[in-house]
Amino acid sequence: MHQSVAVLDFGSQYTQVIARRIRECNVYSKIYPYDIKASILKEDGVQGIICSGGPSSVLSKGAPMPDKKIYELGIPILGICYGLQLMGHLLGGKVEKSSHREYGLGQLTLKKKGKLFGGLPKSLRVWNSHGDRMSKLPKGFEPIGTTENSEFAAIQDADRQFYAIQFHPEVHHSEQGIVVIQNFLHKICGCKGDWSMADFIDESVARIRETVGDERVILGLSGGVDSSVTAALLHKAIGKQLTCIFVDNGLLRLNEREQVKNLYKDHFHLDVRVVNATKLFLDRLKGVTDPERKRKIIGKAFIEVFETEVIKLKARGNYTWLAQGTLYPDIIESVPIGGNPAALIKSHHNVGGLPKRMKLKILEPVNELFKDEVRKVGEALGLPKEVIWRQPFPGPGLGVRVVGPITRRVLDILRKADAILHEEMMAGGYYYKVWQSFCVFLPVKTVGVMGDERTYDNVIALRIVESVDAMTADWARLPHDFLGRISNRIINEVAGVNRVVLDISSKPPGTIEWE
Ligand code: XMP
């Protein structure tokens, strides 16, 4: 049994980020509802408690309150933001509405380092976001840090091991915030820091087995990193009780269906049902040029095909679960200064609308993890680099990379050109360095000359971008000779293409995909 630290969730949009920081310090963390009974925390043997921030004011009616007995457990507590106000409010201090809201970066001056601030400079830039302020300390407490607006921006009662800070140490904007968390975990709670992602796998395997029992699970496999890691994890936990469905919508890249089949069926021995639905998708897309209509048609057809497979499976066995590779959106971490993180969360393209109608229970074994953590899990499970570090590929696939009507012929042209780009990006060592690199088919014919003959053929655009989160992106500055070779190869090797152009638009105002 690993040492663990509890995070009580008072509704902060950073709760998951706190849990993640704790994992980064190699300590196991578990998020509990804010009103969890102290006796349960004791039974679970937690080494310490972190009370998260939250949008409420401790002064308002109905504000979320913890079980007061957590302060009598004799274990260290760190209150962050709302967690600080709680200590003031519940332990005999005083909290008042502040005349100005502290929001954004502020300067924290350390008055006393003690265990919490050990190893830090005297002054730090920290990220604040709160309305209330503590005006009187509870008995036994002393101030250890101040800001312009608050003489009690950081406080401690070292005897009882209670610490509280107004700022958010978990966000990157708080200078050396991670040191504060490390100090709390290692120096105050005495956690050794011997937990790792391999332990995450063991723990989730046990949890999945317990949840699923002898029932069966269905997973939609896309070949992307999230669903692949979910598949490998579930397979480790429940083996043959897992069945994956892979839908070939006819909009995949060259040999993609075979690659997925080889890896998951033949190598990992997963039960994968590969459904070739190319005809259905392409029939419905015939003549459609509007990007939004394309997306809707593809999404709807996917649900139909998937549902048909689910009905077949349910008739065959005790399938009661639908697993999804939902992640905790990593965008929230990089909230711009002064911005609202919630506004930044990208809408996820998971199969919305599926679950209810199909009467399946939802299983999301990696939904507390961030993208980079999921990659670590994938590595520990033995997934190959090409899967773990695969560039993002949109759900509607090549459907949004063919401008204009989608036909088999055009898809074939695009697939061949895209395969050449992929091969060259790999060979040149650029594939894993950029965010995405792909070809777009343009329904434009231009004149060219090949040998002595005049040609009149289509155009392929190269879209190669750098980005950290897909919210903004810029075109990658790759060497001209390298780009020239790609262009030559596509024009020489792909019949139907006589011109290659390079997309040099940034996002915004452009988007990464063309449709
Ligand atoms: P845009 O084109 O909006 O794309 O700049 C941002 C990122 O999202 C991907 N993308 C999608 N992913 N389903 C997905 O799963 C979609 O419908 C979809 N549309 C865009 C895109 O490849 C880029 O990484």
Render each residue's pLDDT in the chain as its tens digit; 515 residues: 789 999 999 988 889 899 999 999 999 999 999 999 999 999 999 999 999 998 889 999 999 999 999 999 999 999 999 999 999 999 999 999 876 767 788 999 999 999 999 999 999 999 987 778 899 999 999 999 999 888 999 999 999 999 999 999 999 889 999 999 999 999 999 999 999 999 999 999 999 999 999 999 999 999 899 999 999 999 999 999 999 999 999 999 999 999 999 999 888 899 999 999 999 999 999 999 999 999 999 999 999 999 999 999 999 999 999 999 988 764 443 333 333 334 333 333 444 556 678 899 999 999 889 899 999 999 999 999 999 999 999 999 999 999 999 999 999 999 999 999 999 999 999 999 999 999 999 999 999 998 889 999 999 999 999 998 888 999 999 999 999 999 999 999 999 999 999 999 999 999 999 99
The per-residue pLDDT for 341 is 39
Question: Do residues 422 and 482 both lie within one domain?
Answer: yes
Question: Do residues 349 and 446 both lie within one domain?
Answer: no
d(CA 102, CA 109): 15
Q: What predicted TM-score, i.e. pTM, was given to this entire model?
A: 0.85
Tell me, in angstroms, the distance from the centre of ligand 1 to residue 303's CA.
19
Question: Do residues 227 and 181 both lie within one domain?
Answer: no
The verdict on the CB of residue 251 being under 6 Å from ligand 1 is no
The per-residue pLDDT for 357 is 82
Question: Do residues 138 and 19 both lie within one domain?
Answer: yes
Q: Single out the residue of 245, 252, 249 nearest to residue 221, CA to CA.
A: 245
Residue nearest to atom 10 of ligand 1 (CA): 394
The verdict on the CB of residue 512 being under 6 Å from ligand 1 is yes
Given 335, 358, 388, which residue is the final one in a domain?
388
The C-alpha torsion from 425 through 398 and 360 to 356, rounded to 10°, is 130
CATH number, domain with residue 108: 3.40.50.880
Question: Do residues 452 and 473 both lie within one domain?
Answer: yes
Question: Do residues 230 and 296 both lie within one domain?
Answer: yes
CATH number, domain with residue 438: 3.30.300.10
Question: Do residues 221 and 167 both lie within one domain?
Answer: no
Scan for tokens 């392929």, then name that residue: 460
Tell me, in angstroms, the distance from the centre of ligand 1 to residue 406's CA.
19
Structurally, the chain folds into a number of domains equal to 3
Question: Do residues 142 and 276 both lie within one domain?
Answer: no
CATH number, domain with residue 329: 3.40.50.620
The verdict on the CB of residue 394 being under 6 Å from ligand 1 is yes
Question: Do residues 161 and 14 both lie within one domain?
Answer: yes
d(CA 165, CA 184): 12
> Structural domain of residue 430, as residue ranges?
401-502
d(CA 468, CA 464): 14
Six-digit token string for 20: 């993640």
Q: Is 168 a catalytic residue?
A: yes
Radius of gyration of the chain measured on its C-alpha atoms: 27
The per-residue pLDDT for 129 is 79
The verdict on the CB of residue 398 being under 6 Å from ligand 1 is no
The verdict on the CB of residue 392 being under 6 Å from ligand 1 is yes
Scan for tokens 């061949």, then name that residue: 416
The per-residue pLDDT for 353 is 58
| Amino acid making up residue 164 | A
284 lies in a domain? yes
The per-residue pLDDT for 332 is 42
The C-alpha torsion from 244 through 249 and 253 to 256, rounded to 10°, is 30
371: CB partners within 8 A, 6+ apart? 225, 327, 330
40 lies in a domain? yes
201 lies in a domain? no
Question: Do residues 381 and 456 both lie within one domain?
Answer: no
Annotated catalytic residue, options 51, 89, 130, 170:
170
d(CA 24, CA 267): 31
- For residue 475, list its beta bridge partners: 465
* 400, 513, 515, best to mutate for ligand 1 pocket (most atoms within 8 Å of CB): 513
